[in-house]
Amino acid sequence: MRTSATPTDRVWFITGAGRGLGRAFAEAALAAGDRVAVAARTLAPLEELAAAHPGRVLPLGLDVTDREAVFAAVARAVDHFGRLDVVVNNAGALAMGMVEEFTEAEARAQFDLNFFGALWVSQAVMPTLRAQGSGHVVQISSIGALAGFAGTGLYSASKFALEGMSESLAMEAAAFGVKVSIVQPGGYWTGLYTAMSNTTPLDAYGPLREELARQYAEGSVDSDPSLAARALLTLVDSEEPPSRLLLGSMVYDVAFDVSRRRMETWAAWEEVSRAAEHAIPAPAAGA
């Protein structure tokens, strides 16, 4: 098995590739001369892509929340193409609602797709990438992982979990020559909002919902997914890709604003923080 690939001879594995960012990523990879295993729950758009690029696209019907199915799909892609070079965990969904409103089933569904789906794919591809001694796993996170926002608490929680797992994975994978990058996009016209689910609203949050709707109406401007795809190609073409990449001016500014406010808070409470630690000998057994 080859351990490296030229920029125009890579094999990609992309989840959530039927539409939105995933579709844009697949089209950009194909335009670059690469081959792509595209996975999504709905097979029809993937088959259309395969028909337009004979021999270069492997369409895979896949629900990433099904761990056994994920491992089978990855094995099929490796068997078909002989290797994997770029893995993009893009499948995800947005569940809107106040934290108090989520049922157990709704909360678990958000994590099953946004976190566990990416975890299963990451686990499934690592044996191949380790054996190759190369590869690049790209985790598509969100502005929602920079901070929690009213109405998207469980979405943010699932993306925070994804990033925590991915930071550890990056340290573990580096020992085998495998790279991991977290990509945090801002807003893109992907169908994320039209396909999102909503909790059953509680009347108490009515005024807050009205305020949020006003803010979204005044400041919500999204971009063409092709811009994100262009940035992703720049990322994977890099010999030393960053561990994190922000996509968009808005998310860039939010990241710095959130970081500054956190540092200011930590500094203001430094005395309390430092006073909470003073090393002592281990307590005697049974004490």
**How far apart are the C-alpha atoms of 185 and 26, rounded to whole Å?**
17
Of the candidates 52, 49, 60, 58, the one whose C-alpha atom is nearest the C-alpha of residue 23 is 49
Q: Please indicate whether residue 159 is annotated as part of the active site.
A: yes
The catalytically annotated residue of 141, 142, 156, 181 is 141
Residue located via tokens 């997914």: 225
The catalytically annotated residue of 134, 142, 155, 166 is 155
Secondary structure letter of residue 197 according to DSSP = E
The one-letter amino acid code at 225 reads P
Q: Which residues pair with 138 in a beta bridge?
A: 88, 181
- Using only the alpha carbons of the chain, give its radius of gyration: 21
End-to-end Cα distance, the chain:
58
Q: Would you say 14 and 37 are in contact if contact means Cβ atoms under 8 Å apart?
A: yes
Q: Which residues pair with 184 in a beta bridge?
A: 246
Q: Would you say 115 and 128 are in contact if contact means Cβ atoms under 8 Å apart?
A: no
The catalytically annotated residue of 159, 179, 181, 188 is 159
**How far apart are the C-alpha atoms of 93 and 26, rounded to whole Å?**
19
Q: Please indicate whether residue 179 is annotated as part of the active site.
A: no
Token pair of 87 as six digits: 């893995």
Q: Would you say 181 and 241 are in contact if contact means Cβ atoms under 8 Å apart?
A: yes
Mark 174-210 as b/e (b = at least 16 C-beta within 10 Å).
eeeebbbbbbbbbbbebebeeeeeebeeeeebeeebe
Pairing type for strands 136-140 and 95-96 reads: unpaired
Residues 6+ positions from 101 with CB-CB distance below 8 Å:
199, 200, 201, 202, 205
Residues annotated as part of the active site: 141, 155, 159
